Amino acid sequence: MFFARGTRANVLLFRQLAMFLRSGMTLPESIAALNDFPYVRIRKKLRTMERDLKDGLPMGEVVSKYPELFGRLPAEVLVQGMSPQDLGTVFNGFADELEKISAMKQRMKRAMLYPVATLLIGMQVLAVLLVFVIPAFEKMFTDFGGALPAPTRTLIEFSNHFDEIVMVILAILVTVLVLWFYRPGVLYALGSRLPGLGSVLRRSSVYLFARDLSLFVRAGLPPGLALQNAAGRLHFLPFSRRARALAVEGSLSEALSKIRHFPGVFLQVVGVGERTDNLGEALVEFSNYYEKEVESAYYRLLLATEILSLMLVAGMIGWAVSALYLPLFQLAGAVGG
């Protein structure tokens, strides 16, 4: 899984390396030609790589020292003796896939803004009621005397413990943010157990796995090594661990059939690709098809989330307002009687 903060720089790096390689330069020469790369952080590391190569360090060792630059591209691809033109084609393919998957993730993030904004606005309105409105009503109710209805008493208790509630919410948000940046796999494992979201995460994992597997196979890696590298880049831990534990002794489709997360059509495509010796292209075709399935499942989840967020906000505010006015209705009934 990719993160937007590094995608743009990595895409540009792959594009420029591909340009130099396809023009006939070797990989060390291409790295040396990037002395004016626009991202300072990457430019410094490229210069260090250039010095290491001039000092005679093997390419595999040099590449392994900078996983943030070639993290998705295994070192085996760079040291297996491909021609510069073929290696440039591989870099172009990785850049294309990075852009495609990043664009899909950005569309999904933008689509989630509406339910999140709805919840935040609803919580702000409820916070205003708890902090400013309810204390004034509580004083008025106390002056009138009499027993308050149970919903009103509950609302007043919420208002009295508002500081503690805010601290709990902040602690939860901080925990989620820490996990998102440092242990995203934990969030994916928890989310996979939720209805709706779990289905989307599983479909997304199959899609990303197929994309990565096709890239590594087309780059020339043997099926077993391609499987290990593709599985190692997934944050969906149950799926990633099972895939990495597979031993490809016979065909790749037979090994993958031991994991229940894979749809039948994926296993059929892998099997056909192996029989026709066209596995990389077969996986590309499956990925193009399955991308629509992932987006469809996601937008169904999004629609359900929008409806639930509206119902939740309406329920919270409606309960608070009704709890505030119940004593007034009782008082008006008593005065009228």
Q: Single out the residue of 86, 78, 85 nearest to residue 25, CA to CA.
A: 85
Instruction: Say if CB 252 and CB 227 are below 8 A apart.
Output: yes
Any domain includes 314:
yes
Please check whether residues 199 and 76 belong to one and the same domain.
Answer: no
Which pLDDT score is estimated for 334?
A: 55
Asked whether residue 33 is assigned to any structural domain, the reply reads yes
In a shared domain, residues 206 and 266: yes
Q: Are residues 299 and 245 in the same domain?
A: yes
Using CA atoms, how far apart are residues 55 and 96, in angstroms rounded to an integer?
33
Residue 107 belongs to a domain = no
Return the SS3 of 286.
Answer: helix
Take residue 92 and report the two structure tokens written for it.
């172009």
> Which CATH number do you get for residue 334?
1.20.81.30
Where does a domain end: 96, 129, 157? 96
In this structure, the answer to whether residues 49 and 163 fall within a common structural domain is: no
Model confidence pTM above 0.85:
no
End-to-end CA distance of the chain: 68
| Domain end point (choices 43, 67, 96) | 96
In this structure, are 11 and 155 located in the same domain?
A: no
Q: Check: CB of residue 257 under 8 Å from CB of residue 267.
A: yes
pLDDT of 1: 34
Q: Which residues of the chain have pLDDT under 70?
A: 1-6, 71-81, 104, 107-108, 110-111, 142-147, 184-185, 233, 235-238, 247, 330-337
Q: Is the same domain home to 160 and 196?
A: yes
Nearest alpha carbon to residue 111 among 310, 309, 305, 314: 305
Say if residue 261 is in the same domain as residue 293: yes
Question: What are 194-197's contacts with CB under 8 Å, separation 24+?
Answer: 196/300, 196/301, 196/304, 197/301
Radius of gyration of the chain (CA): 28
Instruction: Please enumerate in sequence order all residues whose Cβ is within 8 A of that of 76, keeping only pairs 6 or more positions apart, or say none.
Output: 60, 221, 225
Given a contact cutoff of 8 angstroms between Cβ atoms, the answer to whether 30 and 85 are in contact is no
Quote the number of domains for the chain: 2
What single letter denotes the amino acid at residue 180? W
80, 116: one domain: no
Q: What is the pLDDT of residue 309?
A: 86
Q: What is the CATH number of the domain that holds 9?
A: 1.20.81
Residue at 136 is within a domain: yes
Q: Considering the domain boundaries, does residue 105 fall inside one?
A: no
Whole-angstrom CA distances from 334 to 185, 291, 325, 329 are: 59, 64, 14, 9
- 209 and 172 together in one domain: yes
List, in sequence order, the alpha helices (H) in 112-149.
113-128, 134-144
Would 103 be classed as within a structural domain?
no
Residues 86 and 118 in one domain: no
Cα angle at 112 between 110 and 117, to 5 degrees? 105
| In-domain check, residue 104 | no
Shared-domain flag, residues 40 and 125: no
Full domain range(s) for residue 246: 112-337
**Among 206, 208, 124, which residue's Cα sits nearest to residue 166?**
124
**Considering 65, 96, 127, which residue would you say is the last residue of a domain?**
96
Q: Are residues 266 and 191 in the same domain?
A: yes
